[in-house]
Amino acid sequence: MWCILRDRRLAGFKFRRQQPMGPYFVDFVCFSHRLIVEIDGSQHADSTTDGARTEWLTSQGFRVMRFWNNEVLKNEEGVCLSILDALTSRPPPHPAR
């Protein structure tokens, strides 16, 4: 996924990877559009902490998109189109105050 998102390769949107955010590290974040993209492996299937994590990130004014590892591997184009749609479908939200 990083090969696609790095260096503004996805329609010119800038992403950072493994970014610290409060008590968490997020996989990928586009700060200008306040969008976080998480790629989850099987360890997240029964996670009791993902909900709290997403809730905290959302409370900070970010949208969170989650994809399974196998979804990225099997449908890379579809995942990219979903991310692009989220980036272009509405203006970036204002930061949380």
Query: Residue 91: how many CA atoms within 13 Å on its side-chain side?
Result: 2
Q: Specify if 96 maps to a domain.
A: no
3-class SS of residue 74: helix
- Provide the number of structural domains found in the chain: 1
- Whether 46 is covered by a domain: the verdict is yes
Of 94 and 71, more confident: 71
User: Is 22 within a domain?
Assistant: yes
Say yes or no to pLDDT of 96 above 80.
no
Distances (CA, A) of 94 to 8, 21, 65, 68: 22, 17, 18, 28
Mind listing the pLDDT tens digit for each residue in 7-65?
A: 999 999 999 999 999 999 999 999 999 999 999 876 655 667 788 899 999 999 999 99
95 lies in some domain: no
Task: Specify the pLDDT at position 45.
Answer: 52
pLDDT at residue number 88: 93
Q: So what's the pLDDT on residue 46?
A: 60
93 within a domain of the structure (yes/no): no
Structural domain for 19, as ranges: 2-88
